[in-house]
Chain A
Amino acid sequence: MEEVLKIEHLHKRFENINVLEDISLSIKKGETVVIIGPSGCGKSTLLRSIIGLESIEEGKVLFEGTSINPLDKKDIKIRQKIGMVFQSYDLFPHKTILENVILAPVKVQKRKKSEVIEEAEKLLERVGLISKKDNYPRQLSGGQKQRVAIVRALIMHPEVLLFDEVTAALDPEMVREVLDVILDLSKQKRTMLIVTHEMAFAKAAADRIIFMDGGNIVEESIPEEFFNDPKTERAKKFLKTFEFEKEKE
């Protein structure tokens, strides 16, 4: 299968701290890759570097074989092919749900408004939020807002979707509704790179698990292998923390 996204020897420093040290990975078309790891291991920074929210010191990000610099003006078209959903939803508070969804396709991709609205309504229908299309973001729950944020990214027809701890700010009951939407996308063979702390979800959705720690990729394997028989001590220790939580319950 062809590689959609490829990262080669990525380095990122914040002052004197190495946040990312020589990260290399590639994602094939239709693949769902889940990155897990302790807080501060650099997983969010990795996603942000791919889309250009962080500058990179060394290394390359290749999109469909060509090296891109998302900060570069001429690569703006490529940036539109990489969608991102954030932990804090970040819907535009002054726009209704429908307006939030259609803003970028109409203003950025210059698509026909009527056609975009039609697609937006279909997508909102699919995530069960068509009745909220004329509401403002503040009138929605966290889980609903996050589903809208996913729709807002989807309508751009991205080749790759990046999810940065999208359920971390949600109440437990709302986590499910958001993860179900993502799981659905995974089944549709969307290319996705997901950072999450939801282990059960990672197990269910991932084609491949990447375990990061201290700015490095420590382990990379298929979910069954990673969760049942982790190779590294670091991964074992990390997975233990979740078992401990279970015992306490």
Chain B
Amino acid sequence: MDFTIIKSYFPLFAEAFLLTVKIGWIGIALSFLLGIICAFILYFKIPVASFIVKCYVELFRNTPLLVQFFFIYYGLPAAGIKISAEVCGAIGLGLLGGSYMTESFRSGLEAVPLTQKESAFSLGMSKGVLFTSVILPQAISISVPAVVANIIFLLKETSVFSAISLMDLMFTAKDLIGLYYNTTESLFLLVVFYVVMLLPVSILGSVLEKKSRFKIFGD
């Protein structure tokens, strides 16, 4: 391994890293928002909307991100809507992630025992108070592990960004290998940057998991 090469590649990877992180987190924020809204729709069994959400979740969970990107990136302009590669990346990731987040939040909401609702009901709570004070805080704690897993999964899915010509980490590595054949150095940097991107999330996630678990389950 040649460290002078690594040194010269470093700024390129750093730039790609920032782009990946930026679009990745925007996408994750979108997926979070979408997941919460869709989970509420499913939990409250809102007619029609529930059916639409179910279709959306199944469609996006069961198709690869790459295919979704092709539809958004090449399909939308054909329909007269022009978006940049960056916006496309964020939306694509948001839509894919939203389908996963929906299921995580929904299962969290449904995991709160019925007896909790009954005891809150017997204390004369309205549906609103019951939901915000009793169900939601517990559901959030229950959802944390699944949501953290989703975030890590989505950050790794950013490696598909190169398909829509976004200069993310994967794109940079592939490009450099193609140009100069410095496979070892490029792959080394690729791994390092992915780990740097994901390790903090992983650690923070398990801390958060422990805290929320402790609050409810005490272990």
Chain A residues near B (Cβ < 8 Å): 51-53, 73, 76-77, 79-80, 82-84, 86, 88, 90-94, 103-104, 107-109, 136, 138-139, 149, 152-153, 156
Contact = CB atoms under 8 A, between A and B. Distances in A.
Interface residues of B, number: 21
Nearest to B134: A92
B138 A88 contact: no
Interface string B103-145: 0000000000001101111111110010001100110010000
Interface string B163-204: 000000000000000000000000000000000000000000
Interface of B: 115-116, 118-126, 129, 133-134, 137-138, 141, 215-218
Contact of A108 (B116, B124, B216): B124
Nearest to B219: A138
B109 to A, nearest CB: 14
Given A103-B133, A136-B215, A136-B218, A92 B124 contact: no
Contacts of A136: 215, 218
Interface of chain B: mostly helix, strand, loop or mixed? helix
Nearest to B140: A94
A108 B126 contact: yes
Most buried by B among A104, A136, A156: A104
A82 B121 CA distance: 11
Nearest to A75: B124
Given A80-B124, A94-B137, A153-B123, A139 B218 contact: yes
A94 B211 CA distance: 11
A77 B122 CA distance: 11
